[in-house]
């Protein structure tokens, strides 16, 4: 995920390591933190693989003595960014987090590619809702059938399962709104985008 975020940021503008780490922290915070011990080795690895290049520039300080390393994405980095964006099969357990980091990179994709990713995420969300709803119904049936295995507080478990269903329903609604906005943009309907989908 960090590789995708870094490349997505560098698609937009060059940046130095501290700035990149700060933006990542702002995106994934408040309790998760992208340590410099993780970001700088990743930047170095991306540079070694030819996906970014770096140059030393004077720091914005009064003395002008200190220099910082600025990173710029390369053509290879753009190709890697595109592959990461279009990948829907890797890390399915983390895909909810990954998709939320893909959305800021949508402007760098073709319209059909954006719709493909949004439709995939709509299906992904619906699959979770369907699975959890069936599991909740199965759990309710089982605790009524097998009294000897009844949990101490089945309502707590049912409440947690419903909470998870509700969360995925929010994801589904959000992704459907993303799709409606994308379709409206592609069809040139700015009034629909402004008044309906961005509230």
Residues 6 and 80 in one domain: yes
Residue-wise DSSP of 32-44: ----HHHHHHHHH
Among 37, 58, 89, the domain-final residue is: 89
Out of 89, 124, 141, a domain closes at 89
Tell me: do 70 and 122 sit in the same domain: no
Number of domains in the chain: 2
The answer to whether residue 94 sits within a structural domain is no
Question: Are residues 11 and 58 part of one domain?
Answer: yes
Dihedral pair phi/psi, residue 91, rounded to 5°:
50, 55
CATH number at residue 12: 1.10.10.10
Over its C-alpha atoms, the chain yields an Rg (Å, rounded) of 22
Q: Does 100 reside within a domain?
A: no
Do 115 and 69 lie in one domain? The reply is: no
142 assigned to some structural domain: yes
Tell whether 117 and 55 lie within a shared domain.
no
Domain co-membership, 76 together with 25? yes
For residue 168, CA distances in Å to 43, 79, 93, 96, 151 come to 34, 31, 14, 10, 25
Query: Which residues on neighbouring strands pair with residue 94, listed in sequence order?
Result: none
Q: Are residues 124 and 180 in the same domain?
A: yes
For residues 14 and 153, give the distance between their C-alpha atoms in angstroms, rounded to a whole number.
54
Give the end of a domain, one of 37, 59, 89: 89
The pLDDT value recorded for residue 193 is 43
pLDDT tens-place values along the chain, 199 residues long: 889 999 999 999 999 888 888 888 887 776 666 666 778 899 999 999 999 999 988 876 555 567 889 999 999 999 999 999 999 999 999 999 999 999 999 999 999 999 999 999 999 999 999 999 999 999 988 887 766 667 778 889 999 999 999 999 999 999 999 999 999 998 886 554 444 333 3
140 with 64, same domain: the answer is no
Res 194: pLDDT: 43
Q: Given the DSSP bridges, would you call strands 67-73 and 15-16 parallel, antiparallel or unpaired?
A: antiparallel
Which of 122, 100, 102 minimizes the C-alpha distance to 168?
A: 122
Are both 85 and 114 inside the same structural domain? no
Q: Both 62 and 16 in a single domain?
A: yes
* Residues of the domain holding 192: 110-197
């Amino acid at each position: 995920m960090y590789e995708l975020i870094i490349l997505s940021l560098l698609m937009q503008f060059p940046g130095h390591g501290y700035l990149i780490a700060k933006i990542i922290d702002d995106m994934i915070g408040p309790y998760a933190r992208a340590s410099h011990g993780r970001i700088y080795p990743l930047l170095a690895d991306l540079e070694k693989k030819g996906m970014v290049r770096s140059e030393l520039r004077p720091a914005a300080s009064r003395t002008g003595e200190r220099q910082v390393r600025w990173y710029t994405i390369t053509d290879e980095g753009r190709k890697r960014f595109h592959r990461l964006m279009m990948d829907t099969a890797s890390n399915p357990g983390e895909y909810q987090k990954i998709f939320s980091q893909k959305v800021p990179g949508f402007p760098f994709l073709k319209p059909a590619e954006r719709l493909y990713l949004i439709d995939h995420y709509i299906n992904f969300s619906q699959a979770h809702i369907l699975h959890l709803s069936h599991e909740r119904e199965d759990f309710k049936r089982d605790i009524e059938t097998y009294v000897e295995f009844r949990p101490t507080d089945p309502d707590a478990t049912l409440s947690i399962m419903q909470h998870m269903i509700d969360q995925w329903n929010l994801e589904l609604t959000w992704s459907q709104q993303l799709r409606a906005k994308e379709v409206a943009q592609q069809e040139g309907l700015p009034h629909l985008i402004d008044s309906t989908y961005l509230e």
